[in-house]
Chain A
Amino acid sequence: MSDVWITVAALCVANAVLKAAGPLMVGGRPLSGRAASVIAMVAPALLASLVVYETLSADGRGIHVDARLVGLAAAAVALALKRSVLVVVTVAAVATALARAIA
């Protein structure tokens, strides 16, 4: 098997295990109020982390600042103007493409 297919197969299995682990271990048990209030905050923490990660990620480790930052700023403006998700991502792509064309 080539590196490509080994990667696909291994990630398929790993993903299934990672997604099953939580539900298997804590499923069906009632939550304390305190645990519930913390769990509700997983989504905002995760999303904010992914925004930063996907804006600054380089190939491999490290930070790579480029025109994606311009796209993200444009997306924030579109969100502040209450635009739909489709408009927000389109604005981000266009702003990034323009910044690259000018630079």
Chain B
Amino acid sequence: MARESSVREGIRAALPLLLPTFLLGASFGVLARPVMGWLAPIVMSVVVFSGAAQFAALSVLAAGGAAGTAIVAGVLMNLRFLPMGFAIGPSLPGGSAARATQGQTIVDASFVMANRGDGSFDRGRLFGATAVQAAAWWSGTAVGVFAGPSLPDPQTLGLDAIFPAFYLALLAGEVRGRRALIAASIGAGATALLMPFAPVGVPVIVACLGALVGLRRT
């Protein structure tokens, strides 16, 4: 088995993501403030800690939707943590409680940074990258909430394009070799096909599972 990085090495490797994630958190804070008040967005960023789910739930609440609809949107968006958890599970040692606790550190960026490309995951990079993501996401949300009223609309600043660009940058580092390219192509294509009619979040999880099923045959 490959050598495991220290958490400190993981933090250092994830430092380039600090500012982009901070900007994402700030745009969430700015958009959430008028809908959720000042405290709830900060609490949400700490206890939910998932940009994709938070933006999905926020867009429902902002449109005047009920809690139930917002919860469904957020949960569907985060269903991707199921296949991600199954992928990373074999790399997490210890008893049930220890594994479940370590599983809480899975976020998109740290999952990707910890991926060794051979089916195993580096826990030092997972924990270190998650620490960086947390610091940036929480402080960004707080700054967005408090500075929001004096800032222009995030859409005017193009901040909503940061999210896809951030994922594209992570993807560029991941696509090495033909199989990864096939997986990415199936993931992107299936998502585009499903988006016009599937509920929020569903295209992402179906695309992930579809790519895996497709790859079993190659």
Contacts and interface: CB of A to CB of B under 8 A. Distances in A.
Interface in A23-58: 23-31, 33-57
A10 interface: yes
A44 B23 CA distance: 23
B208 A15 contact: no
A23 B89 contact: yes
Interface in B32-67: 35-37, 40, 43-44, 47-50, 52-54, 57, 59-63, 66-67
B157 A97 contact: yes
A23 B103 contact: yes
Interface residues of A, number: 80
A67 B66 contact: no
A33 B78 CA distance: 28
B163 A4 contact: no
Residue of A34, A49, A52, A54 with most partner-chain B CB within 10 A: A49
A39 B93 contact: no
Contact of B71 (A10, A22, A46): A10
A80 to B, nearest CB: 9
A14 B187 contact: no
Given A16-B104, A45-B184, 4 more contacts: A11-B50, A41-B180, A47-B108, A89-B23
